[in-house]
Structure 1
Amino acid sequence: MRKYLKYFFFMVVFLVHLFLFAFVHYVTPHYEITRVTGVEVKRVDKDGPITKSNPADGPTRDVYYIYTQKPDDTGVMVYRNEDTRWGFPFYFKFGSADLQAKAQSFAVEHKLVQMKYYGWRLVLFDEFRNATSITEVTSDDTPSLPILSYILYAILLLTFFFCIQFIRGWFDSEN
């Protein structure tokens, strides 16, 4: 029974750390070099974009979208460009309209840009990455590194290791 309890605690620690890794990956900024191909504004409510099949049934808001294509292949990505304001994650982003105008000018000029974003693109749930900034780059530039993510991953690996060692020591010392 002790062996199963030990493995149960290992599994709990593993699942908690897996959740924390996913959380860190979602909320910390990432960078990608891409080319803006277009922009769009959609009126949405709590159910998604407003269409004939989905009429507005509550408060609505504008959500900006930035369409991009990787410079070396045909891979495309759609970014949501929405203010975070005072909400979580705390990017305090208020200028999504300005960012949209900047993206539009990059689309017209066909320039390479570095997109800073957080979040995931989940097609199944119609979830988009949220762009937080966009800057012009050259073809020789490499994307910035998400240093904060690396630091938090290292801390999580250390806590995972120490939790596993603690559980092993706790169960092995009682024999």
Structure 2
Amino acid sequence: MRKFIKYFFILVVVLFHAVLFAGINFVFPHYETTYVTGVEVKRVDKDGPITKSNPEDGPTRDVYYIYTQRTDEAKPTVYRNEDTRWGFPFYFKFDSAVQQARASGFAQNKKLVEVKYYGWNIVMFNEFRNVVSMHEVDEEQVSHPILSWIFYVLGLLTMFFSIQFIRGWFDSEA
């Protein structure tokens, strides 16, 4: 029975850290070097973009979308471009219209840009990454999500020490 409880606590620690790592991956910024191929504005409600199959059924808002294409991939990537304002995650982004205008200029001039974004791209649920900023770059210029890496390492350390504590606690009482 003690062995079962020990492995249960270890499982809880691992699951807690898995959720923590997913949160870090979702909230912290990532970077992608790509070409902007187009922009669009769609009217959406709580169920997603308004279409014939999804009629308007509540408050609506305009959402900007930015379409990109990486040189090494065949599939395009879609980003949404919404303000975070004062809400979570705290990027304090108030310039989505300006970002949309810049993206349109990048698309017309076929410029290579670095997109800073957060979130996940889950097409099945109409969930797209949100653009935080974008700027023109050279091909050899690459940014790295250093803050995310720091939090991943801290998470791995806390997971390791938590598991060691649980193992030591149960093994010392045997």
Same fold (TM over 0.5): yes
Unaligned regions of 5+ residues in structure 2, if any?
none
Count of residue pairs brought into register by the alignment: 174
2:47 aligned residue: 47
Deviation at residue 139 of structure 1 after TM alignment = 1.7
Secondary structure of residue in 2 paired with 1:86: coil
Q: Aligned AA for 1:154?
A: V
CA root-mean-square deviation: 0.9
TM-score w.r.t. structure 2 length?
0.97
Secondary structure of residue in 2 paired with 1:39: strand
Q: For residues 115-126 of structure 1, what are the structure 2 equivalents within 5 Å?
A: 115-126=115-126
Deviation at residue 94 of structure 1 after TM alignment = 0.7
Please give the alpha-carbon distance, in whole angstroms, between the structure 1 residues aligned to 2:52 and 2:3: 59
Deviations 1:39-80, CA, capped at 9 Å, x for gaps: 000000111111222221211100000000002332310001
1:159 aligns with 2:158: yes
Unaligned regions of 5+ residues in structure 1, if any?
none
Q: Aligned AA for 2:6?
A: K
Please give the alpha-carbon distance, in whole angstroms, between the structure 2 residues aligned to 1:140 and 1:153: 26
TM-score w.r.t. structure 1 length?
0.97
1:146 aligned residue: 145
Deviations 1:123-174, CA, capped at 9 Å, x for gaps: 22111000110000112222x1101101111110110011001101110010
Secondary structure of residue in 2 paired with 1:141: coil
Q: Aligned AA for 1:149?
A: S
Contact 1:71 1:112 in 2 (8 A): no
